[in-house]
Amino acid sequence: MSERERTKVHVIPHTHWDREWYFTTSRSKVYLVKHVKEVLNALENIEGFHYYLLDAQGSLLDDYIRWCPEDEERIRNLVSAKRLMTGPWYTQTDQLVISSESMVRNLYYGTETARKYGHAMKVGYVPDAFGQSAQMPQIYREFGIERFLFWRGVSDNTNPRTEFTWEGSDGSQVFAVQMPFGYYYGGNIPEDAEDLQPYLEKQIGALENKASTRHIYFPNGFDQAPIRLNLPQLIERFNELDDKREYVMNEPERFMAEIEADSHDLPVLRGELMEAKHMRIHKSIFSTRADLKQQNNQIENFIANILEPVLAISHSLGHEYPHRIVEDIWKLMFENAAHDSIGGCNSDTTNQDVAFRYKQANDIARNLLDLHMRMIASTIEQEETFAFTLFNTLPYVRGGVTEIEAYIPEESFVIRDTKGRELAYTIVDKVDQTDYVLGQHIDLNPSRKVYLPDRVYRAKLLVELQEVPAMGYTQIIFDFTQGTAPTIERRNDQHIENEFFAIVVEDNGTLTITDKTSGQTYANQMVFEDNGDDGDSYNYSPPERDLIVSSIGSKLNVTTAKTTVLEEIQLGCTLNVPADLHEREAGISSGQLPIQVQVGLRKGEQLIRFEVQVQNQVLSHRLRVLFDTGLASSLSIADQPFGVIARPTSLPEAEVWEREKWQEKPITIEAMQSYAGLNDGNRGIVVITEGVREYEIVGEKMDTIALTLFRTFGFMGKENLVYRPGRASGEKIVATPDAQLLGKLNFSFALYIHHAGLDEANVAHVAREYLTPIASYQLCDFLNGRLIFAFRDEERTLPQNYSLMSFNEESNAVLSAFKKAEHRDGYIIRVFNPYLKQNAQATVQFNQSVSVERVSLAEQSLEPAQVIANKEQVITLPELTHCKLLTVLVSKSN
């Protein structure tokens, strides 16, 4: 056999290092120290041990150096020589329920970390993520990564070979190689000669049957695997025993370069990689530990949508941009974004660590925002005692009813904007905190007269704003010299309305919604449906004998509250449900599931807002809320990272999966970023959420949106599920009582009904507004003290209204990020096309003369900016086709 015809087996020594799982991060880090020391010693001292892949997670080296700083130079030498491989990720992130900006920052900081040590691997290495997002080819290429090495998501009915071209939603392509039998396939190599030869024939033969070239990827490692110190000697024995093949030690970059050079006429696979025929993708992991998923989603949105833009505004006004603090916040989120961590498929102890990191990230982020809003507010020219500074972090002027938290005295007042216009408002809730607030006041300058009210209430207000400048701030003033307290009209009726909708609670517990614009009526809305969950931390799975309980027909308590800015239905019901799986099997319902709902219509808003509180008192079940659209559809629509995706509402594979022995049943439970729904080109309904990013289209006609609120279970892993036969995923002996989520659970979501196609309805813009509330800061002398830390008086030089930049009215691209650039002067603007069919573009106006350069997601220069400068302060960004993203660096002109 010629050298060219011989199979070349690339033996890749590696470990897949879960930072946490059924064990905690603390345990993992302690053992990581031992592992990395052994790897360093092997690479430096064992002849023939050329390479080692440290799971492509830069965070592992950060963890190690924190405890072993004396080894930093050793690591730099090995990484620089491309012998110890790391990056491009910071942690091995999920791709379906993590936000687009979180994925981008994970790659950004992962690449930065790896380069700090000498080299970032240019391979999209994803050994264990539960499915691959359709936008990853574009994201990879933006980071200069053109090769993709993975395991989960492709089966032989789609592609029988290991090599193919993967094309993303936007048309970007990467060269892809699958590890068809997993990253652990070569982890157990026998050493006796009589065992070794048949082992090689079987293991390598199976890989050869999958390959379209002579190159074979043979990974030697598994989860938390110790390094195989005698691997060079074993490879020598492979070559002695097997003259049909050539065995070499290698690493992913070199392997991918060699196999790509020999790959020709490859098939093209398009879109998401989510098949589970030969490997599990745990598709319903989207709703595992709903409490943690909610925290993740809220903090991700808060960082990218509010915190970073306010920090950029603050920087433009002369304050230092806190890069390292923001980096620390993101890295806490990345630790939780790792596929097991965000999946929630962990022990309860580990999930407690996850929750604590969310607490840390949230605390740092919100206090950082508070500080910078305060630094701005305290230097605005004003004499008023009560002034609130409002921050709009979207690139256009906003108005409408917004929620503000405030400390207010007992007196009545009116609210005015900077133009003197009186603003309608209502006080939703208030609590007396006089002793707490005034008892913490500090007089830094006793000579200065300070207003101290007799009583102080912590209140939640809804205020109808007129104009808040784009990417900037304005103020509203509370005037206590006049005004009467707004009233709330409370009734026992069952009807509310605003300019767009009229909503009635029917006797059977459902809502009937009338769209006033079109006259269309939607009946049977907001049906709560509870069913059993016989699954585990990886998969939802129905019991073999289930009992489904609907809120239709439940006894209701209904009241309404009506003000000038809000009309709201307050609805309560209790579902009689099985207490556990045994009762479901027997058809018994001794448990109770109390549900409280607030359905709100704000003045001038084309959204129906829902606040749901559930007192969970039963075990192993799933609660969803259903909206009947009346739109029978073969496709659902949802947002994905930097775009939109249409998915089938039924799968033909679901009819044959048992006969073909799939690892999991193909299901249409899907992921989203923030919205999902149906549209027939003329009208549509979408559900927008910051909670669990999971939905399914159900009903005989596939016309009903089912939004998952939560699901619960009692064990990390279980065997022989209806949706996942065979072995347990995870550890079946690990009980997870915390995952039953007993206690009070809260959920927020909105319904957007529109009579237009999806593109014309601007669904992505509506969703972005819903997830980007206007932030506010209250500057009052009586609050200056231990409550928020004392501030000295600052010189007041800033105007009461300020806008850093704005999009013109014709702009239809969606803003994804606005932040200070990491290592250069100027600001990063990232936009994307959110539409199914039409192109998108943005024209941006700054408050100063600027220069513009197109950069990558890595914030690296790509080429001279392809923009049209109408004048020095206005830039027109290039037009974006379907699902395309664009990042530019905007700097002051010299």
Could you give the residue numbers annotated as active site? 128
- Quick check: 246 and 104 in contact, CB under 8 A? no
Tokens of 235: 């490879």
**CB burial of residue 48 (10 Å; 0-12, 13-18, 19+):** exposed
Distance (Å, whole) CA 698 – CA 626:
9
CA distance to 7, 245, 249, 406, 683, per residue, from 193 (Å): 21, 17, 20, 77, 69
Helix (H) or strand (E) holding 39: helix 25-45
What φ, ψ does residue 377 adopt, rounded to 5°?
-60, -35
C-beta separation of 816 from 308 below 8 A: no
CA–CA dist 585, 784 (Å, integer): 60
CA distance 419 to 557: 43
Write the CB contacts of 2 (distance below 8 Å, at least 6 apart in sequence).
none
CA dist., res. 142 & res. 878, Å (int): 16
Q: What does the CA dihedral 396, 401, 405, 411 come to, rounded to 10 degrees?
A: 130
Provide the 10 A C-beta neighbour count for residue 81: 13
Nearest to 654 by CA among 276, 255, 282, 390: 276
Beta strands in 184-318 (DSSP E): 215-220, 245-249, 268-270
Continuous H helices in 378-463: 434-438
Element (H, E) at 115: helix 100-116
What is the rounded distance in angstroms from the CA atom of residue 604 to the CA atom of residue 402? Answer: 11
User: Is residue 791 a contact partner of residue 784, using CB atoms and an 8 Å limit?
Assistant: yes
Residues 593 and 576: their CA atoms lie apart, in Å, by: 6
**Beta strand 268-270 with 163-167: parallel, antiparallel or unpaired?**
parallel
> How many Å is the maximal CA-CA distance in the chain?
97
Which residues in 287-299 are b (16+ Cβ under 10 Å) and which e?
A: bbbbbbbbbbbbb
Q: Please report the sign of the dihedral spanned by the C-alpha atoms of residue 668, residue 672, residue 676, residue 679.
A: negative
